């Protein structure tokens, strides 16, 4: 058994028992912090914590790794509830095209974008995709990510979608952190189905979903509901087929337009509704009436120069929400959640505490990991971030681009 004791922790953040599974409104800014604290772990499980004045006698000193955290903060690992980590090739050529004036939507209409990634992924074998994803996830963990969701959606054929999901399944057993898999065959229409939407939807429903169900290849089902992608009615049909196969919806809506996808997803009790760069008053009142967790992706807003979601408004309306990276080669080549934390503060005007709530406790809920992740609580194995010496918590998002994480234990 591996026993670790952190002592003299300057601030132990989000440690507590009986915390709600979702923080909302002013709760997001009022995080529990124990100053001058200790934390004891056994094989990563939280077995004791509290102020330094109370630690003596609680700990069995034998075979213990003692970590002096003087001047440093300890936080629960971040949870990244929305990523596209399995892909074949980066797309910096499109990045340069956008710098020169083309829009993301124009590039996609010219056969770039998701279709570009799908073409590359179809050519690559499963082992190579697996190997590339391992390298990326190792870097994500080093940046503090302690739980991860990964979507398919760069296959866009029966074989290639299943190949992606099998890679994700192998990643689940390779890593000690939890990884959730999402079927996103409805990410874009393949060229050969451009004028035959029915044909591709039939493939998803009749050929992909049944195999996914038999081989237990996914936890969730996603659809990119957007103009030029999937309509609300198309999304509904695919989500219902997924629900029938035991997959909860977790969807891409309101990235470029508000077209009713959010309402439909909430009606179908989606676990989360993600992107939300465009939010109308009606969308906000629908969010308020439903149980789906809104997830904002500020890395995507930043990289594509599109609006940032109005998270501040959700705080005012007492609606809980999460933040995630959206890591993918087209719209967000960044997996570093400290950068996402900064963007949320700088561009969405969230306080450091509000943004951290959305990256930990609320993000764990957006991937059904509240019982194990998101807070430092007895019996949980949330993954632990030990920072470098910092003056306060706000210093992390403030010093954007600087790596202030000394060690991550998962």
- Interface with Fe ion by CB under 5 A: which residues? 326
d(CA 243, CA 317): 29
Choosing among Fe ion, ligand NIG, none, which partner's interface includes residue 331 (Cβ < 5 to 8 Å by kind)? ligand NIG
Nearest one of 178, 187, 144 to 340, comparing CA atoms: 144
In three-state secondary structure terms, 183 is strand
Site string for ligand NIG, 207-246 (x = CB under 6 A): -----------------x----------------------
The answer to whether 373 touches 382, Cβ cutoff 8 Å, is: yes
Nearest distance from C-beta of residue 62 to ligand NIG, angstroms: 49
23 or 183, CB closer to ligand NIG? 183
Least distance to ligand NIG from the beta carbon of 30, Å? 31
Q: Which does 255 bind (CB under 5 to 8 A by kind): ligand NIG, Fe ion, none?
A: ligand NIG
- The DSSP bridge partners found for residue 75 are 385
Residue 247 contacts residue 221 (beta carbons within 8 Å): yes
- Least Cα distance to 270 among 299, 296, 245, 249 occurs for 249
Report the site for ligand NIG in 253-272 (rule: CB under 6 A).
255
Question: Residue of minimal CB distance from ligand NIG?
Answer: 330
Q: Is 85 in the site for ligand NIG (CB under 6 A)?
A: no
186: which strand partners?
A: 223
- β-sheet bridge partners, residue 7: 68
Quote the CA–CA distance of 187 and 391 in Å, as a whole number. Answer: 43
Strand partners, 332: 328
Residue 260 site contact among Fe ion, ligand NIG, none (CB < 5 to 8 Å, cut-off depends on kind)? none
Of 83, 325, 328, 362, the one binding ligand NIG by CB under 6 A = 328
Q: Tell how far CA 220 is from the center of its chain.
A: 13
Q: Which is nearer to ligand NIG, 225 or 287 (CB)?
A: 225
Which is closer to Fe ion, CB of 37 or CB of 150?
150
The reply to whether 330 sits near ligand NIG by the rule CB under 6 A is yes
342-381 mask for ligand NIG (x: CB under 6 A)?
Answer: ----------------------------------------
Half-sphere exposure of 166 (CA within 13 A, CB side): 16
Q: Of residues 67, 114, 253, 315, which one binds ligand NIG by CB under 6 A?
A: 114
Q: What is the DSSP letter of 67?
A: E
Distance between CA atoms of residues 171 and 150, nearest Å: 10
Residue with smaller CB distance to ligand NIG, 275 or 380: 275
Interface residue list for ligand NIG (CB under 6 A): 113-114, 117, 224, 252, 255, 300, 326, 328-331
């Amino acid at each position: 058994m591996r026993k670790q004791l952190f002592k003299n922790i300057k601030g132990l953040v989000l440690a507590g028992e009986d915390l709600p599974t979702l923080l909302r409104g002013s709760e997001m800014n009022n995080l529990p912090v124990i100053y001058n604290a200790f934390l004891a772990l056994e094989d990563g499980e939280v077995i004791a914590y509290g102020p330094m004045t109370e630690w003596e006698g609680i700990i069995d000193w034998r075979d213990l790794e003692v970590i002096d955290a003087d001047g440093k903060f300890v936080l629960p690992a971040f949870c990244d509830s929305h990523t596209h980590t399995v892909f074949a090739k980066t797309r910096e050529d499109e990045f340069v095209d956008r710098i020169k004036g083309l829009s993301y939507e124009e590039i996609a209409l010219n056969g770039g974008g998701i279709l570009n990634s799908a073409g590359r992924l179809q050519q690559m074998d499963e082992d190579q995709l697996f190997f590339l994803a391992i390298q990326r996830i190792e870097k994500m963990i080093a940046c503090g990510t302690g739980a991860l969701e990964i979507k398919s959606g760069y296959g866009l054929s029966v074989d290639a979608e299943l190949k992606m999901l099998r890679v994700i399944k192998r990643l689940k057993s390779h890593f000690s952190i939890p990884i959730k898999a999402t079927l996103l065959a409805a990410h874009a229409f393949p060229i050969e189905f451009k004028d035959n939407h029915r044909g591709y939807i039939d493939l998803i429903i009749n050929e992909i979903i049944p195999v996914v169900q038999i081989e237990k290849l996914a936890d969730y089902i996603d659809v990119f509901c957007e103009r030029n992608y999937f309509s609300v009615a198309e999304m509904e049909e695919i989500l219902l087929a997924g629900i029938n196969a035991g997959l909860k919806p977790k969807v891409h809506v309101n990235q470029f337009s508000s077209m009713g996808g959010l309402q439909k997803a909430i009606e179908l009790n989606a676990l989360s509704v993600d992107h939300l760069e465009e939010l109308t008053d009606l969308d906000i009142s629908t969010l308020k009436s439903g149980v789906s967790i809104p997830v904002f992706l500020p890395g995507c807003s930043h990289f594509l120069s599109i609006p940032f979601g109005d998270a501040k408004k959700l705080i005012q309306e007492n609606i809980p929400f999460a933040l995630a990276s959206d890591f993918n080669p087209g719209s967000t080549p960044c997996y570093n959640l400290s950068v996402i934390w900064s963007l949320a503060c700088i561009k969405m005007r969230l306080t450091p505490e509000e943004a951290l709530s959305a990256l930990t406790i609320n993000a764990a809920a957006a991937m059904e990991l509240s019982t194990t992740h998101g807070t430092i609580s007895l019996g949980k194995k949330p993954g632990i971030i030990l920072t470098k010496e910092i003056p306060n918590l706000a210093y992390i998002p403030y010093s954007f681009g600087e790596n202030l994480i000394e060690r991550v234990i998962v």
